[in-house]
């Protein structure tokens, strides 16, 4: 079972995670995201030790269509995005990971 967390993003984003003890961090400076972000995300997705990949929600816009499709369909590792406002798709991520919707539509 994969137990590591990987963080992909700008050095400013990954620094806090490094300080918290996350060892797998891929720094992709903002001015290089269009060229390097796909490779960094693919590396995290194919790492057998990684169970969770953390990114900024806005960084998803920099991914190619193919990598974005892979990320959105990935169950293990699961992608967790931060930022982006109300829920930022967390409900969909949970539903995809466990296969059911835990929230009732009336709530």
Is residue 106 in some structural domain?
A: no
Instruction: Evaluate whether 4 touches 23 at the Cβ level (below 8 Å).
Output: yes
Stated pTM of the model: 0.76
- Which CATH number belongs to the domain containing residue 38 in this structure? 3.40.50.10580
Instruction: Evaluate whether 48 touches 6 at the Cβ level (below 8 Å).
Output: no
Q: Residue 88 burial (CB < 10 Å; 0-12/13-18/19+)?
A: middle
Provide the domain count of the chain: 1
For residue 91, give both structure tokens. Answer: 């409900």
pLDDT number for residue 55: 94
Is residue 85 in some structural domain?
A: yes
User: Comparing 97 with 44, which gets the higher pLDDT?
Assistant: 44
pLDDT digits (tens, 9 = 90+) for 35-77: 999 999 999 999 999 999 999 989 999 999 999 999 888 889 9
Concatenated DSSP letters for 25-74?
EEE--GGGHHHHHHHHHHHHHH-TTEEEEEEEGGGGGGS-HHHHHHHHH-
Is residue 103 in some structural domain?
A: no
Give the range of the structural domain holding residue 82, as residue numbers without chain letter. Answer: 4-98
């Amino acid at each position: 079972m994969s137990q590591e967390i990987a963080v992909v993003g700008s050095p400013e984003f990954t620094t806090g995670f490094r300080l918290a003890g996350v060892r797998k961090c891929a720094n992709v400076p903002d001015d290089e995201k269009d060229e390097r972000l796909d490779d960094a995300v693919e590396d995290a997705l194919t790492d057998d030790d990684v169970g969770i990949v953390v990114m900024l929600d806005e960084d998803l816009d920099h991914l190619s269509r193919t990598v974005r499709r892979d990320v959105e369909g990935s169950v293990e590792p699961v992608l967790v995005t931060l930022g982006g406002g109300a829920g930022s798709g967390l409900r969909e991520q949970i539903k995809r990971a466990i296969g059911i919707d835990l929230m009732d539509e009336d709530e």
